[in-house]
Amino acid sequence: METYDALLASITPTSGPTRTVLDPATGDPVGEAPVHTLEDLELAVGAAQAAQPAWAALGHDARSAALLKAADAVERSAEELARLLSREQGKPLNGPNARFEVGACAAWLRTTATTELKPETVVDDGETYAELHYKPIGVVGAIGPWNWPMMITIWQIAPALRMGNTVVVKPSKMTPLSVLALVKVLNEELPGGVLNIISGDREVGARLAEHPAVGKIMFTGSTAAGRAIIKSSADTVKRLTLELGGNDAGIVLPDADPKAIAEGLFWGAFINTGQTCAALKRLYVHDDIYDAVCDELTNVAKTMPMGNGLDENNVLGPLQNKAQYDIVAQLVEAARVSGARILLGGDPDPDQPGYFYPTTLVADIDNDNPLVAEEQFGPALPIIRYSTVDEAVAHANALEVGLGASVWSSDPAAAREVAARIQAGTVWINKHGAVDPRVPFGGAKQSGYGLEFGVEGLKALGVPQVING
């Protein structure tokens, strides 16, 4: 285990171009990240290609053992990784934030390593015998986002490595340090060349997506960026797993208990200060309990401290970057001007350092208001009235995205009936955004395609092969 300073020093480049990464809570420098070039990318892909045959030849058991050791390495450096993540991304150490994210990295590694994927007998009728196997793809490119940089990187690389592929990681230029540190820690237990990282600008990511030696791209990010990856990957017919933008709806049925669900609603919407693809971003509440839900949610939100992530008391942090801050501020101001009622927040302090936007709840807002129709990706939740369940379901399904959704009710059976009508990859009951490494996860409509996690996630990192006879 290294100290925080030693870990940061170990990923600080000693030559070549660099970019200073700033703390979004203070504006202070966190560290220097390398700005790798296209030539560096070629070296990384070449190393992955060279290492892949031997890695695949080890077999599932040996690769799983290596991933379990990698999980141990993450836990040895957990506090140092969490501190670096907090400083770079902004999320607090406590709550479902930095320490939670690092812990999830170890948990996902262990679950991925121990999930069984056996050959499947497709037909065995005495005349025909056919088995379905999954073979390694080769080299996988993993392009990650800035909101959950460590955890989503693990979501991508753990199944890729388990299935016998080697990986080239390209982190967001907003949060390269935490991913560089994570890869450095993982590589303490992995063979050389199996896991490689390139920290570069957009042209490096674009080249990775089109590189002829890369057999699959895993990408988490915006729908617009996903479309670009689809186009750039087409010439080499790459396999793709795309987890793209969402604007998740939650529907509160009239039999729900406002007080009982208030904290779940809060964390469904405001986990990671709202910077989560599968966060609750528009909440539909029945007329009968609308005011009570607004009151109870406001009461909960008032108790959640926001501030510098290194302060152990805080559970909400800043937005990660100025561009995202401006999007949230503009959408809330447009809602205010339209006549929507601000229940809480909406009043950032212009003299406060960092990209802090206060926890904001907006009521009595039209369904076509931009704060509802566009993904805000920050700490502002619009709460929309509805009169009939048919109306709420129609609103939930009206957008072109469909990553997640939720239904809140005292009657789970009734909630499941409503859930089945919603066009989303996952619909949660009385919770929102609760992902599990054993349960498949993926989007519908323009929120992407392909499944992650569990057995289906492993299959997505392999090439199916039928042995017939």
Q: What is the pLDDT of residues 358-412, one digit of tens each?
A: 999 999 999 999 999 999 999 999 999 999 999 999 999 999 999 999 999 999 9
pLDDT, mean of residues 147-161: 98
Instruction: Report, in this order, helix, strand and coil percent for the chain, each rounded to 5.
Output: 40, 20, 35
- The pLDDT value recorded for residue 51 is 98
Residue 147: pLDDT over 90: yes
pLDDT band at 469 (very low <50, low <70, confident <90, very high): confident
Does the domain at 248-429 match CATH 3.40.50.720? Answer given as no
SS3 156: helix
Contacts of 449 (CB under 8 A, 6+ apart): 240, 241, 242, 442, 443
Residue 1: pLDDT over 80: no
Give per-residue burial for 197-235: e unless 16+ CB within 10 Å, then b.
bbbbeeebbbbbbbbeebbbbbbbbebebbebbbebbee
- The pLDDT value recorded for residue 322 is 97
The values of phi and psi at residue 217, to 5°, are -115, 130
Residue 125: pLDDT over 90: yes
* DSSP annotation string for 67-124: HHHHHHHHHHTHHHHHHHHHHHH---SSSSSHHHHHHHHHHHHHHHHH-----EEEEE
| 260 alpha carbon, distance to own chain's centre | 27
Look at residues 436, 445, 390, 441 and name the one whose alpha carbon lies nearest to residue 417.
Answer: 390
Domains in the chain: boundaries: 4-244+447-468, 248-429
Pairing of strands 426-429, 380-386: unpaired
| pTM, full prediction | 0.96
pLDDT tens readout for residues 49-95? 999 999 999 999 999 999 999 999 999 999 999 999 999 999 999 99
pLDDT band at 291 (very low <50, low <70, confident <90, very high): very high
AA letter at 177: L
Give per-residue burial for 111-134: e unless 16+ CB within 10 Å, then b.
bbbebebeeeeeeeeeeeeebbeb
Q: What is the DSSP letter of 190?
A: S
pLDDT tens readout for residues 9-28? 999 999 999 999 999 999 99
Q: Are residues 318 and 90 in contact, defined by beta-carbon separation less than 8 angstroms?
A: yes
- The pLDDT value recorded for residue 2 is 83
pLDDT, mean of residues 290-305: 98
In Å, how far are 74, 80, 81, 109, 276 from 77, measured between CA atoms?
Answer: 5, 5, 6, 15, 25
Architecture, CATH, for domain 4-244+447-468: 3-Layer(aba) Sandwich (3.40)
| The dihedral formed by the CA atoms of 441, 443, 444 and 449, expressed in degrees to the nearest 10 | -100
pLDDT tens readout for residues 339-348? 999 999 999 9
Residue 155: pLDDT over 80: yes
pLDDT, mean of residues 266-273: 98
Cα 424 from Cα 409, distance rounded (Å): 18
- The pLDDT value recorded for residue 261 is 98
pLDDT, mean of residues 175-204: 97
Residues annotated as catalytic are 243, 277
SS3 425: coil
Q: Are residues 247 and 445 in contact, defined by beta-carbon separation less than 8 angstroms?
A: no
